[in-house]
Amino acid sequence: MDTIEFITTSIQTGVAEITPELAKHLLAITNHDNRPLKPAHVKMLSTALKNDEWMLNGETIAFSKSGRLLDGQHRLTACVNTGKAFQTVIIKGIEDEAAFGTIDTGKPRSVTDLMSLQGLPKAPLFSAIAKQHKAWLETEEDQPDMGEVI
């Protein structure tokens, strides 16, 4: 890491604690022209916050030079919904339109990816089994019988 040289820009970064009150304020005044909220993603983030599984991992909440929220609306919404504060990296001063189209365009890590990274053999198979098991647990329908499984 000693080989990285920082350059001087107008971009500011730092770690901040986001309270539910601050999250609500930021959503009200800075969240313009963002994609629609994905309730399932907010629920997942809310569960992590409620269960104290949230960790500071380097992912940022990003704001443009004009103050527009570019990335972080789901995390801020989860904070408001749970009433629990969290710590995160904040970045301010990103170019508005130039950067907005490039945020969240990468492929997210899948369960299979995470299992493979942990060295689990046959990760795709176990991932598929785990996903199906979770779906069965969350449904009102009867569990499949042996003939349906085989």
Q: pLDDT band for position 133 (50/70/90)?
A: confident
**What mean pLDDT is predicted for residues 25-39?**
90
Nearest by Cα to 86 from 40, 38, 49 = 49
Q: Is residue 54 part of a domain?
A: yes
Domain that holds residue 137: 111-149
Whether residue 87 is found in the same domain as residue 16: yes
Kindly state whether residue 45 falls inside one of the protein's structural domains.
yes
| Ordered strands of the 69-71 beta sheet | 12-18, 86-94, 60-64, 69-71
Mean pLDDT for the chain? 86
Total structural domains in the chain?
2
Residue 1 lies in a domain: no
On whether residue 5 sits in a domain, the answer given is: no
